[in-house]
Structure 1
Amino acid sequence: MSASSSFRPAPRRLRQLAVSVPLSLVLLGGGVPAHAEDARQGATPTSSSESANGLPLEELRTFAEVFERIKRTYVDEVDDRTLLKNAMRGMLAGLDPHSAYLDQDDWQDLRENTDGEFGGIGIEVGMEEDGQLTIIAPIDDTPASRAGLQPRDVILKIDDTPMEGLSMTESVKLMRGEEGSTIRLLVLSEGADMPREVVLKRAIIKSSSVSQRLLEPGYGYLRVSQFQSATGDEAKRALAELREESGDVALKGLVLDLRNNPGGLLSAAVEISDLFLTSGRIVYTEGRLPDSELSFSARAETPAGDTPLVVLINGGTASAAEIVSGALQDQRRAIIMGTESFGKGSVQNVMPLGNGDGLKLTTALYFTPNGRSIQAEGIRPDVEVVRGRLERDTRRDFSVREADLDGRLDNANGDSSTPSSKAPDSPVVAESDYQLGEALNLLKGMNVLGRSAALKATLPATSEQ
């Protein structure tokens, strides 16, 4: 019997419901109480508020009543399947912010985010203040780059859907689709008088979660934007490229940027931590079930060696990114710099359901090597540096000093031919990213003082959590 036939004329309504639900719901319509039936069979009577298997009868009656009233009196007609799915969503949403019911679209999005692969056209987009969907950059060797799409191009329409009023999330969902399917974009290029239509075929796009560059000779920068299935391998390649780019100058220091990294796969966090650690525990988890209790340790081989390391974090650093930060902090492998992290210390398992949907359920909490739970606490940086930027002062300094005067006497200890009023240049890195500039300065200081001395001077006052 279908669920839709379960709620018709009142006297038979709840008896019909029992056909498709557990036995404990049979008596919601006012039949023989469960404890009375148990008493006939010589069983120990149960509470009148609970069924034989412990389910609360009063709440189940209320659920059935709410279900029926919505069906009968809500302003729009709602089918049973929608109501039951919404009930399951609400059941999970009431547990914690990270447990959720995933329909097939949500399930697909989650897989794409963790795998780093999706059907699309290969562009990075952003939303301007005026609400225009604008291309930030096309990804190399994708349908978008081959079609000649350029940064600053504005997307006015996707197929027959105007972009006006749509969020960026809605717009991105429209651009994604099956490999080989066709998509039409109405694009207005910067400086053009009229928009043009571009027809593309979607392809499998692989998004990279790791990027790298040299900040200065001998000082590298490694950015991890999220933790996907390929993040560990990408980071290994990035480290190798940094060493190659550095050439004859050995890497003297490395900045690992985890700011605004929302997390991802636990396995990827372990792999990234293992790039910098040669021994010891990385993370462990604890939950109600035995299989939720796991522990991960570092292996002896490490491509990063003992290169001095500074890790940048902020309030957007969460989950798997906090695992990495906590492991490197507890093992005193790195100095953590920035602002306090988000504080998501729970582990979610994703489970497929028989109808093709999925269940994302919090099953454990994770702990750093020293046994700290990050849940609702976060990682506190060893060196707190708030976000900011330096601005070069271009105003002329009209103050005059002795060294600027014609005919002055030179300093007896050396040449003073260079006027003293010339100010040194500001660091280029710090002008655009103050936190990154401070991380670079700290790495330079570690090379001057020695890594152990720098750690000793920096960590004791701030490492207690």
Structure 2
Amino acid sequence: MRPPRLPSGLTPAWRTRRVRAGVAALLLAVCLTASLGRAVAQTTLDGADQAAGTAAPDAGGFDPALSASVIGAGLRFMLPRTLEPYTAAQLALWGLNGLTAIDPSLLVSQQGGALRLTQGRLTLFVGPAPAAGDIEGWARSASAMAARAYGGSPTVRAAGAQAMLQSFFDEMFNHMDPYSRYVPPEPADAERDRRTGGAASAGISLVDGDRYPTISDVNANGPAWAAGVSAGWSVIEVDGRSTRGQPAAVVEGWMRGTAGTPLSLTLRGARGRQAGRSEGRSETRSVSLQRASVPPETVFAFRNDNILILRITGFAGDTAQEVSEFLDEATHQGSAKLKGVIIDLRGNRGGVLQQAVTTVALLLDRGVAVITRGRDPEANHVWSVAGGDLTDGAPIAILVDGRTASAAEVMAAALADQRRAVVIGSATLGKGLVQTIGQMPDGGELFVTWSRMLAPQGWPLQGLGVLPEICTAGGADQIANQMAALGGGHDLLEDALVEWRRSRAPLPSSRVLDLRANCPAAIGTDADLEVARTLVGDPTRYHAALVPPQDPNAPPE
């Protein structure tokens, strides 16, 4: 990932790769009443499911046993976890409408105790409807109907067996929520790689060069960074194999492999290459390192007037660690006390909830970060932190916009409700549902919404999002009026913020729209950063913007 463009007047705050013992201990000491592991649940398949998952497809190209295995595993995984209670019959019948979505001439119906699949006047399937709670029966029936549709409809055969399975789950989830989904095997592999850091590599990104691929970026979490590799150098050889004329994507593939295996690179320094000089005069060096799984780099830091600006693009496996390193460097570099911290979450679509909670723990001595509630008891948690504020109480401003979502909203809401930070920008997206992941017998994954996220004061993030204390969506005049009011010790949005924090799920859509109208969602601008810089340097305005919660002693409903 390439670092974002530096705002005017900022300089990079490059991280120190050595983490102070106190910071490392803090990360281990974060106290959560919920498990810090990823919210990933996996179905445990019995012997019959595993055998079905390895059955060979029939001659027609459709494997009924595998289809029944996946549908059955999906139903078993979903039924105890969905936000609302359903029966196997409801879910299966919704899913079977996916056949009609592929071929509108197909119709699935349940008449009395019989299931039917018809194509015009032709009956393709008829059989007894299983009991409403019979998971295996509905899985077998759904697979049998899919097999008849595959055999009787050229349109379905042209779409393919995987498309039928995809359509089954798509139609099922259309009746539930916008975030639950089925991911087929190949993209599921890619998504698992993304969550875990992918195949082991050097942590280098390449672009095509004149003769050799050129390093465009070095991930600070990877072994190449630790070995001193820099962007701008050309990769001449990988394990003794010449890269001359090879596409960058091919050479990146050569560098991937098993974690812990050795990798040898020959590099040529771009700084030695000038117009008119031959490549032979450029500096060449060899680097030996070990491949490693490299989580995506999600945190970028800049310094300005002793203010630390952290741009967090997402919450991945090492996000909290990256934040801790930058905070450690900022608070132990030089004798001047840190003037303030600005955390830019604009465009941050979320990621791993645990990482957002752990990042909150780096900035808050103690308190509730987020509450999750669902039908499954394992989905119900109060995520409390007992870490330690690494900034020593420095003012914190958080930038958000209409694209800020999910785990990023959790962080903004937690620090605002705890009066630890001032939120600046516009209303956020309002993605406050948590998914748990089930591994399917075909290698795919099922993402099922199983809990709602509530801010520490009990208001729902889903639909509502986060309302900033300072709204910049209305332009310069609105900003000027708000800053003037803050100078007098009053936040113009205080009444709206109190109403926001009094809200409780479920909220009617009309009420959500009324509340969000106080600061409509918008794309962030440079004005957000300017307001934040002013705020962290002005104690009067900063403390006026820390609007007290509606009742600090009342537990969430």
TM-score by length of 2: 0.53
The residue identity in structure 2 corresponding to 1:270 is V
Q: Is the 8 A contact 1:92 1:101 kept in 2?
A: no
Q: Is the 8 A contact 1:335 1:459 kept in 2?
A: no
**Residues 306/181 of structure 1: CA separation in 2 closer, same or farther (3 Å cut):** closer
Q: Is the 8 A contact 2:202 2:224 kept in 1?
A: yes
Shift of residue 231, structure 1, vs aligned partner: 2.4
The residue identity in structure 2 corresponding to 1:113 is R
Match of 1:51 among 127, 130, 142: 130
Shift of residue 361, structure 1, vs aligned partner: 1.8
Match of 1:341 among 411, 422, 428: 428
Q: Mind listing any 5+ residue stretches in structure 2 that lack a counterpart?
A: 1-51, 73-88, 93-110, 115-126, 237-242, 477-524, 551-557
CA RMSD of the aligned region, Å? 5.3
Q: Secondary structure at the match of 1:206?
A: coil
Q: Is the 8 A contact 2:196 2:293 kept in 1?
A: no
Q: Does 1:66 align with 2:155?
A: no
Q: Is the 8 A contact 2:166 2:182 kept in 1?
A: no
| Alignment correspondent of 2:102 | none
Deviates more, 1:51-60 or 1:275-284: 51-60
The residue identity in structure 2 corresponding to 1:298 is V
Counterparts of 1:381 and 1:306, CA distance in 2: 21
Shift of residue 335, structure 1, vs aligned partner: 0.8
| Alignment correspondent of 2:350 | 263
The C-alpha deviation readout for 1:161-215, integer Å capped at 9, x for no partner, is 868xx9xxx9988975545598999x9x89889999x999982253433333432
| Alignment correspondent of 1:113 | 194
Structure 2 matches for 1:80-119, cutoff 5 A? Answer: 80=161, 82-83=162-163, 85-87=165-167, 90=170, 94=174, 95-116=176-197, 118-119=199-200
Deviates more, 1:86-95 or 1:369-378: 86-95
**Residues 7/203 of structure 1: CA separation in 2 closer, same or farther (3 Å cut):** closer
Deviates more, 1:236-245 or 1:170-179: 170-179
**Residues 86/134 of structure 1: CA separation in 2 closer, same or farther (3 Å cut):** farther
**Residues 312/205 of structure 1: CA separation in 2 closer, same or farther (3 Å cut):** same
Q: Secondary structure at the match of 1:67?
A: helix
Q: Secondary structure at the match of 1:204?
A: coil
| Alignment correspondent of 2:331 | 243
- Give the length in aligned residue pairs: 376
Q: Does 1:216 align with 2:216?
A: no
Counterparts of 1:444 and 1:111, CA distance in 2: 43
Q: Secondary structure at the match of 2:530?
A: helix
Shift of residue 346, structure 1, vs aligned partner: 0.9
Counterparts of 2:184 and 2:388, CA distance in 1: 42
Shift of residue 255, structure 1, vs aligned partner: 0.8
| Alignment correspondent of 1:452 | 543
Q: Does 1:138 align with 2:218?
A: yes
Counterparts of 1:112 and 1:271, CA distance in 2: 22
Counterparts of 2:244 and 2:145, CA distance in 1: 47
**Residues 6/285 of structure 1: CA separation in 2 closer, same or farther (3 Å cut):** farther
Query: Larger Cα Rg: Structure 1 or Structure 2?
Result: 1
Structure 2 matches for 1:10-49, cutoff 5 A? Answer: none
Q: Mind listing any 5+ residue stretches in structure 1 that lack a counterpart?
A: 9-13, 26-32, 37-47, 128-132, 390-431, 461-465
Q: Secondary structure at the match of 2:438?
A: strand
Q: Is the 8 A contact 2:151 2:157 kept in 1?
A: no
Q: What percentage of aligned pairs have identical amino acids?
A: 25
Q: Secondary structure at the match of 1:223?
A: strand
Q: Secondary structure at the match of 2:543?
A: helix
The C-alpha deviation readout for 1:196-250, integer Å capped at 9, x for no partner, is 9x99998225343333343213x222232222233223322221110112x2211
TM-score by length of 1: 0.62
Structure 2 matches for 1:18-417, cutoff 5 A? Answer: 50-53=129-132, 63-70=146-153, 74-75=157-158, 78=160, 80=161, 82-83=162-163, 85-87=165-167, 90=170, 94=174, 95-116=176-197, 118-124=199-205, 136-139=216-219, 142=223, 150-151=231-232, 178-179=258-259, 203-204=291-292, 206-207=294-295, 208-217=297-306, 219-245=307-333, 247-299=334-386, 301-385=388-472
Match of 2:531 among 433, 438, 443: 438
The residue identity in structure 1 corresponding to 2:376 is L
Counterparts of 2:351 and 2:170, CA distance in 1: 24
Shift of residue 254, structure 1, vs aligned partner: 1.2
Shift of residue 111, structure 1, vs aligned partner: 3.8
Deviates more, 1:322-331 or 1:55-64: 55-64
The C-alpha deviation readout for 1:362-382, integer Å capped at 9, x for no partner, is 211111112222223322222
Q: Is the 8 A contact 2:438 2:445 kept in 1?
A: yes
Q: Secondary structure at the match of 1:296?
A: strand
The residue identity in structure 2 corresponding to 1:216 is D
The residue identity in structure 1 corresponding to 2:353 is L
Counterparts of 1:220 and 1:337, CA distance in 2: 16
Q: Is the 8 A contact 1:159 1:183 kept in 2?
A: no
Greater relative contact order, per chain length (Cα 8 Å cut-off, separation 6+): 2
The C-alpha deviation readout for 1:299-323, integer Å capped at 9, x for no partner, is 2633234221100112332111110
Counterparts of 2:527 and 2:359, CA distance in 1: 25
Q: Is the 8 A contact 1:316 1:342 kept in 2?
A: yes
Q: Is the 8 A contact 2:71 2:139 kept in 1?
A: no
Counterparts of 1:283 and 1:18, CA distance in 2: 38
Q: Is the 8 A contact 1:270 1:296 kept in 2?
A: yes
Q: Secondary structure at the match of 1:120?
A: coil
Shift of residue 114, structure 1, vs aligned partner: 3.3
Shift of residue 64, structure 1, vs aligned partner: 4.9
The residue identity in structure 2 corresponding to 1:52 is A
| Alignment correspondent of 1:397 | none
Q: Secondary structure at the match of 2:546?
A: helix
Q: Secondary structure at the match of 2:453?
A: strand
Q: Secondary structure at the match of 2:389?
A: coil
Counterparts of 2:69 and 2:313, CA distance in 1: 50
**Residues 18/360 of structure 1: CA separation in 2 closer, same or farther (3 Å cut):** closer
Q: Is the 8 A contact 1:138 1:151 kept in 2?
A: no
**Residues 209/5 of structure 1: CA separation in 2 closer, same or farther (3 Å cut):** closer
Shift of residue 75, structure 1, vs aligned partner: 4.8
**Residues 145/103 of structure 1: CA separation in 2 closer, same or farther (3 Å cut):** farther
